[in-house]
Structure 1
């Protein structure tokens, strides 16, 4: 309960997806300012939207579990799951192009690999290379 009394914000994860890979942003944490607390609910406003709409979550469940899933939320909404404390985000590691290139060379039929192994290794290398930002 003491955690909640000090909390001025609730947290969510914005993992919106763009159709164009050039505008990809990795998932990041967003804050929602708490506007009111009652014994049963916590009210907040998602600040990153055009028209502010006050929303609420179950205070008892949030205190007990540390997070609450909104039933009416769409998967794209940053407050689909609301957290009492900022959640830990696991960011995927960038692929090592040198290691993938070496793996591709080792899988080459001239070095004892098979055609299928080489094709699969080359596909992984090409996909990783395409995801790297161009300087």
Structure 2
């Protein structure tokens, strides 16, 4: 059982690591070494756990307050985008080994937000305000 959990975490980490590596290479982001990128991804995932908890709590509120699905999608996208951008901005300001421009930070946040929304489960009909997704 523990093997499967560790394998799942390793798989997610490898996806994020090579995703960031390719994205940063395409946009000419400067980083001192692959270990610096390794630390960036580790910290991104750890801080992302807190960000995901915040997103889930606010989404419960969004599902209750906003009745129109288009506005729910748009507000959820903005929420995920803002949290991801804050995580990347925090890591950029705390790590001297990676230099990311503001445009690249925002573009990475947009891409991550679209990917997260694309892979989420669809909303159930009926009592959607009681679900955490």
Give the TM-score range, shorter chain.
under 0.3
- The structure with the largest helix share of the pair is 2
Larger Rg: 1
Give the TM-score normalised by structure 1. Answer: 0.25
- The structure with the largest strand share of the pair is 1
RCO comparison, higher one (Cα < 8 Å, 6+): 2
